[in-house]
Structures are given as C-alpha cells and as structure tokens.
C-alpha cells in the first residue's frame, strides 16, 4: 500500500488514549517522554479528502499530502465579515508546558495533558497583563464592570496548558476589579474541544525528529491530507476551527473574543481567515516558528465607523 492511498473499510486504527496525571513532574511525564515511544516502523497513512466546505483549497500532491489555496480572497472575506459584525478576535497559544520544557520543544505534545511549566505560568501571567492593557486597562475595566458586553468572551481548549493560560487573564481581571472596588465580574473561561491540539495518535510523546524520519510528510508543516496513525490530519483541524469561527460569527456579534489554544488551532485559524502567507504555487504551510508561546495575536478588529449624510455606518 502506498502513502496517500485511502485505506479500505476493513482496516481500522485503534486509538490508545494517553492519560497524564498532574502529580510531580517526573511521575506525570514518565510515560510520555520521547524515548518511550518508538515510531521507527512506519504504518500505512489514511488520506482525508477535501470536502466542499473548503472549496478555496485543492490537493497539490496527494502523496506528500500538500494542499494549494485557490482563493485567498474568499478566506479574507470571512475575516471581513467578522470585522463588519464588530468582532475583535484574539488568539493566544498556551505558555510553555512541562513536556515542552523537558523535551526541548522536540517532543510531540498533542492530546497529552501536561501542565504549564514554571516558565509557562510566568508567560501566561505576562500575556494576561498584555491583554489587559490591550483591552484598555483600568479605564476600560471600570466601564466594563457596568456594561458586561464590554468584557471579553474567553474560550479555551480543555487541555490544561491552554485553559490555565486563559485562566491567568480571568484571575487578573477579577483581582483588578477587587482592587478598584468594582462589582463582581461574570467572566467564565469556556472550554471548547474544537480548540484542542492536533491528535498525534500513536506518535504522541515521540521525538519529532524521529517522526519526521519515519513519516517525512509530517516534517515541514505541509501535510494536511494524512492522519497520524490513530490520530488526526490537518484537514481535521481545519474542520474543527471552521466550526469554531462559525460559532464566533453567529454568537458573539459586537464582542471581543479571546481564545487560548495550541500551535495548530491558532495556525489554522489564521489560515481560514486568510492571514497565512501562501507559498509559491499556492502551497499552504503552517509555520510553527511564527506561533510563539503566550503571545496574543489579533486576528480581526471591528471595522471603523464612518460618517455619512444618513448617520454612521461600518466602513
């Protein structure tokens, strides 16, 4: 069977879930360090077809799993709709996790729920302070306490490294409200599974360099069509982020939405809003180096109001 060939129905993958406790770091990570996961023997890869909801893309090389963007303008139109609806969308990748720190960034960490490292907690607090100032600081918070629609909608992946990064902003805003003697804030951090990191399946916890040797397609952030053995493909993530962006558009008109996710969820959100640099020939690639930990990234801003003879309108 060749890479890229669709598997027959009789061939099924068995997904073995990874559970990581939140005890001492040495205990919580002993089952997911890279030397405990052997991916030297390649498994057949399952291909995923591009569905009609992604008409802006087409297959470029079915064996390498690459896709091409045919219509960047249609992706940018989605971002434009959010802006006309007065939606400010900000994405934040989680702070450094314990597994990130222990693996030096070379360990595949997807659905394994490793907590933030001490550095990651500091990064989350720094991101919270940056977001507070970006929202408008003390003056904004005084108004928002009286007009709750000014408060941001906080949404996070249920994985603790992302959720706790979002909770740092929640805690800071509550602390500031108490300091300023403001009314209590209603500011939950909603969990949305569509924001989870890609499921690496049986490659979870493996050394990324070894995975790249066994599955060269996965080495450069360009394979969207093949699923990791027992896991997900880039197209699967696109489907999840498409649902998330649709919910934002329908449910949060006029609001600021801040979501806390992962490398792929943030990178794919940028892609679906037409904010990813398309390579020569239209090839799509998620550049992980452009998605640092705990760095707020504004994806859309409300369209400015313009004055006309009939009043004000969104321009």
All domains in the chain, ordered by first residue: 66-314 (3.40.50.1240)
pLDDT above 90 covers a percentage of the chain that reads 72
Contact 39, 204 (CB under 8 A): no
Neighbours of 221 (CB within 10 A): 16
CA 144 to chain centre: 27
pLDDT above 70 covers a percentage of the chain that reads 84
- Poorest-pLDDT segment among 47-56, 193-202, 219-228: 219-228
Question: Cα separation of 235 and 198, whole Å?
Answer: 10
Region 165-193: what's the mean pLDDT? 98
Tell me the three state secondary structure of residue 120: helix
Neighbours of 163 (CB within 10 A): 22
| 130 CB burial (10 A radius; 0-12, 13-18, 19+) | middle
pLDDT in tens, 71-102: 999 999 999 999 999 999 999 999 999 988 88
Neighbours of 120 (CB within 10 A): 23
What dihedral do alpha carbons 188, 191, 194, 196 form, nearest 10°? 120
Query: How confident is the model at residue 104, as a pLDDT?
Result: 66
pLDDT band for 268, please (50, 70, 90 cuts): very high
Q: What ranges make up the beta strands (E) of the chain?
A: 57-61, 66-69, 88-93, 153-156, 189-191, 256-261, 297-300, 305-308, 311-314
Q: Is the pLDDT of residue 45 over 70?
A: yes
Region 128-154: what's the mean pLDDT? 98
Region 10-30: what's the mean pLDDT? 35
Question: Cα separation of 208 and 196, whole Å?
Answer: 19
164 φ, ψ (degrees, to nearest 5): -70, -30
Region 135-160: what's the mean pLDDT? 98
Query: How confident is the model at residue 310, as a pLDDT?
Result: 52
Q: Is the pLDDT of residue 178 over 60?
A: yes
pTM assigned to the model: 0.86
Tell me the three state secondary structure of residue 263: helix
Region 245-249: what's the mean pLDDT? 98
Q: Residue holding tokens 């919270």?
A: 128
């Amino acid at each position: 069977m060749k890479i890229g060939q669709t598997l027959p129905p009789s061939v099924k993958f068995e997904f073995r879930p990874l559970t990581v406790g939140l005890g001492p770091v040495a205990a919580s990570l002993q089952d997911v360090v890279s030397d405990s996961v052997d991916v030297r023997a390649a498994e057949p890869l399952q291909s995923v077809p591009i569905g009609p909801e992604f008409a802006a893309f087409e297959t470029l090389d079915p064996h390498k799993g690459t896709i091409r963007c045919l219509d960047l303008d249609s992706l940018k139109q989605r971002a434009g709709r959010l802006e006309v609806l007065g939606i400010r969308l900000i994405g934040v990748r989680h702070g450094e996790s314990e597994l990130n720190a222990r693996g030096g960034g070379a360990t595949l960490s997807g659905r394994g729920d490793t907590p933030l490292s001490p550095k990651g907690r500091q990064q989350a607090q720094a991101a919270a302070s940056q977001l507070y100032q970006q929202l408008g600081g003390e003056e904004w918070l005084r108004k928002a306490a009286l007009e709750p629609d000014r408060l941001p909608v906080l949404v996070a992946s249920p994985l603790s490294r992302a959720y706790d990064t979002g909770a740092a902003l929640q805690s800071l805003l509550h602390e500031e409200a108490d300091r300023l003697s403001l009314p209590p804030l209603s500011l939950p951090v909603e969990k949305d599974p569509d924001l989870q990191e890609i499921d690496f399946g049986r490659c979870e916890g493996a050394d990324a360099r070894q995975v790249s040797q066994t599955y060269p397609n996965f080495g450069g952030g360009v394979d969207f069509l093949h699923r990791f053995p027992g896991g997900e493909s880039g197209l699967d993530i696109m489907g999840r982020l498409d649902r998330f962006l649709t919910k934002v558009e329908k449910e949060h008109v006029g609001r600021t939405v801040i979501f806390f996710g992962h490398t792929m969820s943030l990178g794919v959100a940028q892609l679906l809003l037409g904010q990813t640099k398309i390579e020569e020939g239209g090839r799509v690639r998620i550049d992980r180096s452009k998605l640092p930990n705990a760095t707020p990234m504004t994806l859309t801003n409300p369209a400015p109001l313009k004055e006309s003879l009939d009043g004000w309108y969104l321009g």
